[in-house]
Every structure is written in structure tokens, then in C-alpha cells.
């Protein structure tokens, strides 16, 4: 469907359809974020033997996040006097926009994809790199020492972990023979790539948690050290934008993990009658649950250990993975 619109004569109808689709995706993502936050709080609550949100919106706190967002919306918008005003205002937008842009290439099911790019994977990796600038900008513009430290940590961490992240997916590209995310999913018809490149999956998963700034790699906003890190001076809706970035990236990263390693919308053998969308949702939820689980379990790393881990452990492993994947492809497939 998207192809037809793309190659048809441009007209106002097409623009409107595109706009509507974009808005629909944005709404879907916002809906996900709303309930991902609730799910995170509920799952953490369950792991920590407490109930989690249970007041707003019935027994399960279904409207808790909605109420929280509403509160953030009506909050006074404060900008510190000595902050770099234009940068301070721009930073959350720059952090958020790429998080949403990368979603365009994710194939959610056989025919649910917004842009079937030939270099979808490359596009994802390249665009997601921009967010770092937004975070660094926010940390710098706040004119606060804690934010500055948080912004520096974020920049160092995200750049370091991007490298093993990218190298770890080369194994997948070797097997699929394409950078197109749809082709990658189709390549997993018989066997999911997690079984073919387990090392790649391991490196990818760890690097993606680090990319997302989640525990145990939440140094840029380490509460007990830097108070709130790069967004310490942000409040109200600007702060919500940073949080949104984080959760949209969680959505995007879990989707990418599903697509690259878990077979995307491909069903498990003999269960093909269940629609692809549901399979995607199921695998995707597993990845998200895993990340919440990690958050409930592990303490935080130290900055130098974090860098050491990226360069000394993950990078060599990722390089080894290329060799192993190539060997597996040559010998067994």
C-alpha cells in the first residue's frame, strides 16, 4: 500500500494520508509509552513485592500515566536564568525526533511498515546516533554542573556502545545478505538468527541496554550520584520529552531486537494461523519484560568500568562474532 502511494502522482490526498498515518503511528507509540511506563511500574512492583500504581483508573492504575502526563503538561515551564535559552529549548526536540524517526523502518507485520528502505538497518543506526547530540546539548545548556557531568557521561557512553552494537549486527547482515529489515525477517523463516549468532545477540542486547541508558548502564542519569544527570534542570513538558525519548527508544530497540534476532512477525512452526502482528507483539513484549527485569535486579556500573567493558569485552566479542558467523554461513548453510 505504501509503495503505491509513494510512486503515485503527488497530490493533497497523498499528503493527507501520509500525515494521518504518521499521526496514527505517533498515537500508537504514545499509547505504548503510556502503558510501557505502567507495565514497568507494575512489573517492578511485582518483583519488589509491592502493588505499584493502584489508585487512578481502577485497581490496576490504568490511568496513572495519563494523570502523570497531564500533571506534567499543566506544570509551570521553568528555564534557569543562566541557561543557554535556545539550546535549552531545542535539546528535548533534538533528542526526541530521531527516536520517532527510526520507527518508520520497523516492519511490525507482513504489510505494516511505513518505509521499506533498502538500507533500513543502516538508517536506524545512523538516525539514532543523533539523539546523543540532544542529550549532550541539554546537559550543556542547563548550565548546571550535575547536568554537565551527566551529558558528558551520556555522550561517552552512547558513542562507545554504538560501535559494538553496529558490529554485532554484521552477523545478521551476513546471513540475510541484505540491510533491508523485511528481507532480514524473511531470512528467518526456518531458523531465527538468535540461534545462528548467539554471540551477536548477546553483544547486541547488552549494547542496546547501554544505548537506552537503562540500569545497569544508567550512568548519565544516575540518581544517587548525579541527582538526575543531564535533565536535572528540566521540568514539565520538556522533561516529559526526555522521558518520552527514553521510552520510545525502548519501543524501537525492542522492535529492532525482535526483527533482527527473534524472527520479527514470523510464527513459530505449526502455529502459523496466529497473525504476524501478534507474534511480533509477543516477542517484543518478551524483550521489554527482560529489560524491566534487568532493571529490578542489577546494580549500576562505574563510568570507567563501563567504558572498559565496551572496548575490551564487547568490541572483541563483536569482531569474533563476524568471523564465527561467516564460518557458520560458509560451512553449514
Partner 1 sequence: MIRTEEMLLNVGPQHPSTHGVFRIVLKIDGETIIEATPVIGYLHRGTEKLAENLQYTQIIPYTDRMDYLAAMTNNYVICHAVETMMSLEIPERAEYLRVIVMELGRIASHLVWFGTYLLDIGAMSPFLYAFREREAIINMLNEICGARLTFNYMRVGGVKWDAPDGWIEKVRDFIPYMREELAGYHDLVTGNEIFLNRVKGIGYYSKEEALDYSLSGANLRCTGTSWDLRKDEPYSIYERFDFDVPVFHTGDAWARYQCRMQEIEESLKILEQAVEQFPEEGPVMAKVPRIIKPPKGEAFVRIESPRGEIGCYIASEGKKEPYRLKFRRPSFYNLQILPKLLVGENISNLITILGGIDIVLGEVDG
Q: List contacts with partner 1 (CB under 8 A).
A: 44, 47-50, 145-146, 149, 215-216, 218-219, 222-227, 295-305
Shortest distance, CB of residue 88 to partner 1, whole angstroms? 20
Query: 47 or 133, CB closer to partner 1?
Result: 47
Q: Is the dihedral of CA 13, 17, 18, 19 positive or negative?
A: positive
Kindly tell me which of 286 and 298 has the beta carbon lying closer to partner 1.
298
Distance between CA atoms of 50 and 62, rounded to whole angstroms?
A: 17
At residue 226's C-alpha, the angle toward residues 135 and 149, to 5°, is 50
State the nearest-atom distance from the C-beta of 263 to partner 1, in Å. 31
- Min dist CB 129 to partner 1, Å, is 24
Q: Which is nearer to partner 1, 149 or 196 (CB)?
A: 149
Distance in Å, CB of 36 to partner 1, minimum = 17
Which residue lies nearer to partner 1 by CB, 280 or 309? 309
Query: Smallest gap, in angstroms, from Cβ of residue 297 to partner 1?
Result: 7
268: left (phi over 0), alpha (psi -120 to 50) or beta: beta
Match 525492542 to its residue by C-alpha cell: 254
Q: Residue 18 corresponds to which cell in the numbers above?
A: 501520509
In the complex with partner 1, which residue's Cβ is closer, 83 or 219? 219
Least distance to partner 1 from the beta carbon of 288, Å? 17
Long-range contacts of 304-309, Cβ-Cβ distance < 8 Å, separation of 24 or more:
306/157, 306/160, 306/210, 306/217, 306/219, 307/156, 307/157, 307/160
Question: 103 vs 226, which CB is nearer to partner 1?
Answer: 226
Contacts with 285 (C-beta within 8 Å, 6 or more apart), sequence order: none
Torsion of CA 48, 51, 56, 58, to 10 degrees: 140
Contact criterion met (CB below 8 Å) for 238 and 76: no
CB of 206 to partner 1, least distance (A): 12
Q: Which is nearer to partner 1, 218 or 246 (CB)?
A: 218
Alpha carbon dihedral 19, 124, 29, 296, in 10-degree steps, equals: -170
Are 102 and 127 in contact by the 8 Å Cβ rule? The answer is yes
Amino acid at each position: 500500500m505504501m509503495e503505491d502511494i509513494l510512486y503515485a502522482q503527488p497530490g493533497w490526498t497523498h499528503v493527507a494520508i501520509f500525515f494521518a498515518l504518521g499521526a496514527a503511528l505517533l498515537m500508537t507509540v504514545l499509547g505504548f509509552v503510556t502503558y510501557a511506563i505502567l507495565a514497568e511500574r507494575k512489573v517492578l512492583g511485582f518483583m519488589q513485592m509491592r502493588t505499584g500504581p493502584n489508585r487512578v483508573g481502577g485497581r490496576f492504575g490504568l490511568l496513572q500515566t495519563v494523570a502523570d502526563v497531564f500533571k506534567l503538561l499543566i506544570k509551570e515551564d521553568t528555564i534557569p536564568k543562566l541557561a543557554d535559552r535556545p539550546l535549552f529549548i531545542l535539546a528535548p526536540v533534538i533528542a526526541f525526533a530521531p527516536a520517532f524517526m527510526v520507527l518508520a523502518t520497523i516492519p511490525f507485520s507482513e504489510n505494516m511498515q511505513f518505509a521499506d528502505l533498502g538500507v533500513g538497518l543502516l538508517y536506524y543506526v545512523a538516525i539514532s546516533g543523533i539523539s546523543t547530540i540532544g542529550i549532550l546539548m541539554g546537559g550543556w545548556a542547563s548550565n548546571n554542573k550535575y547536568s554537565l557531568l551527566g551529558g558528558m557521561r551520556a555522550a561517552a557512553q552512547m558513542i562507545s556502545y554504538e560501535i559494538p552494537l553496529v558490529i554485532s549486527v554484521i552477523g545478521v547482515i551476513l546471513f540475510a545478505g541484505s540491510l533491508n529489515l523485511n528481507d532480514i525477517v524473511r531470512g528467518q523463516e526456518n531458523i531465527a538468527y538468535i540461534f545462528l549468532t548467539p554471540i551477536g545477540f548477546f553483544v547486541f542486547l547488552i549494547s542496546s541496554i547501554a544505548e537506552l541508558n537503562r540500569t545497569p548502564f544508567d550512568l548519565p542519569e544516575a540518581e544517587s550520584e548525579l541527582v538526575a544527570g543531564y535533565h536535572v534542570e528540566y521540568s514539565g513538558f520538556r522533561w516529559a520529552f526526555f522521558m518520552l525519548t527514553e521510552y520510545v527508544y525502548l519501543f524501537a530497540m525492542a522492535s529492532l531486537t525482535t526483527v533482527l534476532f527473534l524472527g520479527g512477525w514470523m510464527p513459530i512452526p505449526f502455529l502459523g494461523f496466529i497473525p504476524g502482528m501478534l507474534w511480533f507483539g509477543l516477542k517484543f513484549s518478551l524483550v521489554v519484560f527482560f529489560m524491566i527485569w534487568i532493571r529490578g535486579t542489577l546494580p549500576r556500573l562505574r563510568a570507567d568500568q563501563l567504558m572498559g567493558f565496551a572496548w575490551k569485552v564487547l568490541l572483541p566479542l563483536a569482531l569474533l562474532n563476524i568471523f564465527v558467523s561467516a564460518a557458520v554461513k560458509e560451512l553449514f548453510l
